[in-house]
Structure 1
Amino acid sequence: MAAPKNRRSVFLGRLPLPERTFITDALRTETVGGVLLLAAAVIALVWANTPLRGGYAEIRDFHLGPGSLGLHLSVQHWTAEGLLAVFFFVAGIELKRELVAGELRDPKAAVLPVVAAVCGMAVPALVYFSVASSGGGSLRGWAVPTATDIAFALAVLAVIGTALPSALRAFLLTLAVVDDLFAILIIAVFFTSKLNFAALGFAVLGLAVFWLLLRKGVRGWYVYVPLALVIWALMYNSGVHSTIAGVAMGLMLRCVRHPGERRSPGEHLEHLVRPLSAGLAVPLFALFSAGVTISGGALSDIFRKPETLGVVLGLVLGKTIGVFGGTWLAARFTRAELNPDLKWPDVFAVASLAGIGFTVSLLIGELAFGTNPLLADEVKAAVLVGSLIAAVCAATLLKLRDNKYKKLCAEEDRDEDQDGIPDVYEQGKPEYHLRMAAILEAKAAEHRRLAEVASGRTTGDDGPA
């Protein structure tokens, strides 16, 4: 039998299986997704503030798509309306999993993150409203500082908080999922201007067919992908933001495992789609949304204009006060209790981390000030500055808490008597105290001998010099 010929690699062709597995697994981690998002935002800022900014604007504003279907959109709109629907589809699956198998399944356990998320959205909105109204600014941007970016927040926590309790990540994830839910409701209710009831009706009918096929156990991407595209297009033409279609389909998936299943359909699809969301959809959205022109004067204007100052203060102060205050109020006045593994300084650090409002805040900023491109760019710059300040503050607080837990872990792992059992598990046993006394006496005798050697009275065990 002839040996198979070596296949030459094709540029941008199919990757070898080990490489493809490595890349997709990496994209499923919060750290890599957050780094790609940050890299895309930095590239956009550099590109938009160099002599090449004309090319950036041309690509961003280039229109393509079938106009007869109402989908002749710019590249920026395709990323915000189309690709971001993939991100919200994954967010919908995460929300469904939390509702049926996570923290939100038990109403008593759900009270804490739900109240924290609600207060973490209400207080930033109030901060923005107060600053904007007192300065005579537009109130349309009240919702901009209310959102938390899951990818960025979890990435910072993963990089900084290596020794922090796992309960802290669970708290942040649940908080961010609930935050996303309310952000989706805000987009659907407050940023839908004109409704095309015919398109909306057919979109709802398409969602019903999607749900029915799932319940009947129909399988095959060739069934669901075309149907999902039709639902998305109808939702876009209805006047409701098209990302709502992604959330709705994500919520319809079953996230409870049946006997014999290694993964539920929701978990399986999330596993498949998350690399696409983290590696393509969200970075491309950031690339064509974060490219605002920033100069020294523009940066100073952020802290002078009421709209932009309201966004920065809402993200940095409003989020921290709202999330921490809501958590404390829920623990104080309801039956909800803080996880025993967490301390209040941990919650405060996570509350400041919630001020990173990148992806959804940029989207809401576009929706709120779409008719005023100059103000929309200034609000985007405020989102970037506020998120950066929140990230630096949160990273500092998390690092302090991480060092604290590292010291506690080192103390728990200490084994002075070298018997293979950490001392913390033996401190109540009499034999442990006898061993420790012998060790301390031996160390004291060694110190005395070294002191005598240093004083010149003896050179050790071999007698006088």
Structure 2
Amino acid sequence: MPANSPRPRATGSTRVLARGSWHETQRITAALRTETVGGALLLLAALAALVWANTPWRESYAALRDLHVGPSALHLDLSVGHWAADGLLAIFFFVAGIELKHEFTRGDLSDLRKATVPVAAACAGVVLPALIFLGVGMIGGADGDVLRGWAIPTATDIAFALAVLAVIGTHLPSALRSFLLTLAVVDDLIAITIIAVAYTESLQALALLGALVPLAAFAVATRRGWTSPWLLIPLALLTWGLVHASGVHATVAGVLLGLVTPVDVGHRLEHVVRPVSAGVAVPLFAFFAAGVTVVGGGFGQAVTDPAAQGVVAGLVLGKFIGILGATWLLARFTRAELDSDLAWADIAGLSLLAGIGFTVSLLVGELAYGAGSDRDDHVKMAVLLGSLLAAVLASVVLRSRNRHYARVAEREAEDLDLDGVPDVYEHDGVHTPGEDTTDGTRRLDEGRRTQP
């Protein structure tokens, strides 16, 4: 068999990280473009907070973050940092809810064969970091308070990871980006569940039941196509306020609102809300969450804290071992097999990249140890350090792979047909609206004429 020939596939096998349909690729590309820009803004906001928090004017940063605003009569007299974590991140989780709805109804996760690998990889990428965190904590003689942070290294920050990928991976296969996004969607679902279950200390059942009323009204309105902001925003705010009053973290309201939105309406709302989430909500949260004081011994105290050590180990080692290991085991012991266009080095680099945990990790740290506490500051430093190490290691691997794919691209002419659809997304030269096949190509309608 020639060296460049694709590997033969076993009968009934499913390709791991296979190229998706052209329509799905276009949708994901548009979403990733926004998230990539958002990741750059996220990085700038975090750097600005770190710089400010380590200057002689650091007290002014803390004063701004801890400034309380809001109506106390409604139990919403919250600090600015609290508003960013509970309020602005609800917008981020609303977009996550819409993405979850799409993936589980029309995306890759709607096909059990395609969903198996990213779901298994995401689950392993949550379990292994948590176990490593607990192991490091127990070895270090940590008490129960330290172990409350077990979920901190379990989340992947998709915006931050995509920003890194955009810089280092200009020629990497689009399937890697799609897999990272799908994995992050499942990761978000698990993180939301953890936040709602593990970090809800008291539950006000009446308020939670009350939230179902505006939530149901929101669902009915979007199902009927009533998308006026004068209707949807008040319903969303009322749902958020009641969930917040119930004791469940208010960001869960954002997810619920996204999940009850019909997919077609969700696409339209996502087009409007995603730029706000990626460009405003998440960077502002990062600005108020990432400002930790490193000078004056803060860093030295952090590196000796078992919680901080567990976070770094979980992000860098746990994500890598969990995602790569689960993917390899599925390819080894099931009918799934790695797509012929990819190599295991690509999966290794992607697994390292998933160790970039930022937004949700910082949020869970605050929930576990209390915003502004010494231990919360320690794990914030650990999240920043672990994410940086994961990004550097992933860059080393993926830049090498990127050079490989760049050389391949130079040898192959770009083959675009007159219809603007790459031939790789077509079968026999035709792009049709037919059903997606198992390997991601488009099935031709019987008797349709092919292009010469």
TM-score range, shorter chain: 0.7 to 0.9
- Secondary structure in structure 2 of the residue aligned to 1:192: coil
What is residue 82 of structure 2 aligned with on the other side? 77
What is residue 283 of structure 1 aligned with on the other side? 283
Give the residue type in structure 2 aligned to 1:283: P
Q: CA deviation at 1:169?
A: 0.6
Q: CA deviation at 1:134?
A: 1.1
RMSD: 1.7
Give the residue type in structure 1 aligned to 2:167: V
- Secondary structure in structure 1 of the residue aligned to 2:337: coil
CA distance change for structure 1 residues 269 and 409 in 2, over 3 Å: closer, same or farther?
A: same
Q: CA deviation at 1:41?
A: 0.3
Deviations 1:98-153 (A, max 9, x none): 11221101001000000000000000001000000111222111000000001011
What is residue 361 of structure 1 aligned with on the other side? 361
Please list every run of 5 or more consecutive structure 1 residues that lacks an aligned counterpart in the other structure.
Answer: 1-24, 256-263, 415-465
Stretch deviating more after TM superposition (194-203 or 368-377): 368-377
Which of 166, 175, 193 pairs up with 1:167?
A: 175
CA distance in 1, matches of 2:275, 2:413: 37
Structure number with greater Rg is 1
CA distance change for structure 1 residues 268 and 145 in 2, over 3 Å: closer, same or farther?
A: same
| 1:41 maps onto 2:46 in alignment | yes
| 1:246 maps onto 2:251 in alignment | no
What is residue 341 of structure 2 aligned with on the other side? 341
CA distance in 2, matches of 1:374, 1:272: 38
What is residue 143 of structure 1 aligned with on the other side? 151
Deviations 1:276-312 (A, max 9, x none): 1111100110010000111374334433221110000
Please list every run of 5 or more consecutive structure 2 residues that lacks an aligned counterpart in the other structure.
Answer: 1-29, 415-452
Identity %, equivalent residues: 59
In 2, are the aligned partners of 1:112 and 1:337 still within 8 Å (CA)? no
Deviations 1:142-167 (A, max 9, x none): 00000000101111112211111111
Q: CA deviation at 1:52?
A: 0.9
CA distance in 2, matches of 1:121, 1:269: 29
CA distance change for structure 1 residues 405 and 141 in 2, over 3 Å: closer, same or farther?
A: same
In 1, are the aligned partners of 2:130 and 2:314 still within 8 Å (CA)? yes
Matches within 5 A, 1:56-135: 56-135=61-140
CA distance in 1, matches of 2:163, 2:38: 7
Q: CA deviation at 1:413?
A: 4.1
Deviations 1:1-43 (A, max 9, x none): xxxxxxxxxxxxxxxxxxxxxxxx9995233211100000000
Q: CA deviation at 1:95?
A: 1.3
What is residue 423 of structure 2 aligned with on the other side? none
CA distance in 1, matches of 2:374, 2:128: 26
Matches within 5 A, 1:201-350: 201-255=209-263, 264-295=264-295, 297-350=297-350
What is residue 458 of structure 1 aligned with on the other side? none
| 1:53 maps onto 2:71 in alignment | no
Q: CA deviation at 1:81?
A: 0.2
CA distance in 1, matches of 2:326, 2:40: 30
CA distance in 2, matches of 1:403, 1:300: 38
TM-score (norm 1): 0.80
Stretch deviating more after TM superposition (112-121 or 209-218): 209-218
Size of the aligned set, in residue pairs, is: 382
Q: CA deviation at 1:252?
A: 1.5
In 1, are the aligned partners of 2:225 and 2:265 still within 8 Å (CA)? no
CA distance in 2, matches of 1:336, 1:143: 30
CA distance in 1, matches of 2:94, 2:340: 33
Q: CA deviation at 1:216?
A: 2.9
CA distance in 2, matches of 1:200, 1:29: 33
Give the residue type in structure 1 aligned to 2:95: V
What is residue 407 of structure 1 aligned with on the other side? 407
CA distance in 2, matches of 1:150, 1:337: 25
Deviations 1:198-238 (A, max 9, x none): 11010122212221222233331111100100000000000
CA distance change for structure 1 residues 31 and 307 in 2, over 3 Å: closer, same or farther?
A: same
In 2, are the aligned partners of 1:37 and 1:286 still within 8 Å (CA)? yes
CA distance in 2, matches of 1:160, 1:186: 32
What is residue 448 of structure 1 aligned with on the other side? none
Matches within 5 A, 1:368-407: 368-370=368-370, 373-407=373-407
What is residue 158 of structure 1 aligned with on the other side? 166
Stretch deviating more after TM superposition (44-53 or 91-100): 91-100
Q: CA deviation at 1:336?
A: 3.3
Give the residue type in structure 1 aligned to 2:72: G
In 2, are the aligned partners of 1:196 and 1:237 still within 8 Å (CA)? yes
Deviations 1:75-116 (A, max 9, x none): 000000000000111111111111122110100100000000
